[in-house]
Amino acid sequence: HGVLDGETKVALASVKIARLSAGGAMAAVAAVADGRVQNAYALTRPPGHHATPDAGLGFCIFANAALAARHAQAVYGLNKVAIIDWDVHHGNGTEACFYDDPSVLTISLHQDNLFPQDSGRREDMGEGAGVGSNINIPLPAGSGDGAYCYAFERVVLPALQQFQPDLIIIACGFDSSIEDPLGRMMLHADSYATLTRMLMEVAHTLCDDRLVVIHEGGYNPMSTPYLGLSVVETLS
C-alpha cells in the first residue's frame, strides 16, 4: 500500500508477485545451466531492470536479471555472466548491481536520456575492478534496425568475444518497437528476431548455447505479443 516512485505502486500482493517474477528468471537460468534446455524465455511480470540493490523504480521491484545472474554464479558455477539489455529505457538497476564487479558484463542499448533522466551515459563504464565491464549505448530517438545492428556489430559482439561469458542473459524489452507508447524507437518483429539470432550465434560459440531471455518492458498490448512470438520462434 505504498508508492516507490511516480510509476511504481505497491499493493498487498505486489511483493509476492515480484518474488515469483524474480524466481521465474532464476528458474530459467536453472533450466539452461542444468542442460535441460539450450535456451529459455522467462515471461514474467513485473519487470526488473530499474530496481537497484536497495530500491524499486520504474515498474520494477526486484532486479530480476541481476538476481538470475547471481543465481547462475552462486549455484551453478557460471562465473562470468553477460547481460544485454535492449529495453528502450536504460537498465540503471542492473548497472548499479554490478558497477564495480568485473564478473558481470552489463550492456544497455537504450533511447538517449529517456528514463531515468541523466542515466545511461556512454562515459559510465564501471568503477574499481569493474571499470570496462559496464557499457552504455545511448541511441537517438528514431533509431531502427540499422542503428541496433551496427551497435551489435561494432560494440556488443566484440565485447562479448573479449569477455568470454559462461552465460548470456537478455533483458528483453519490447518498448523499443515502433508502436510502443513509452518509447520513440523503430524496431519491429523482424528486428527482434535478428538481434536474438545474433546473440544465439555468439552463445553457441562462447558458452555452449547457454542463453536466457528475461521479459522487461513492452506496453502496447496489440503489438507486444507478436514481438515476443518473434523472439520465442527464433529461440526454438
pLDDT digits (tens, 9 = 90+) for 133-167: 999 999 999 999 999 999 999 999 999 999 999 99
Judged against a pLDDT cut of 90, whether residue 1 lies above it is answered with no
DSSP 207: S
What values do phi and psi take at 128, rounded to 5? 60, -135
pLDDT at 4: 84
Q: Residue 129 — pLDDT band, cuts 50, 70, 90? A: very high
Sign of CA dihedral 161, 163, 167, 171: negative
pLDDT band at 227 (very low <50, low <70, confident <90, very high): very high
Give the residue numbers marked as catalytic.
50
The pLDDT of 183-207, averaged and rounded, is 98
Rounded Cα–Cα distance for residues 64 and 50 (Å): 10
Closest CA to 68 of 16, 109, 31: 31
Nearest to 23 by CA among 62, 80, 76, 81: 62
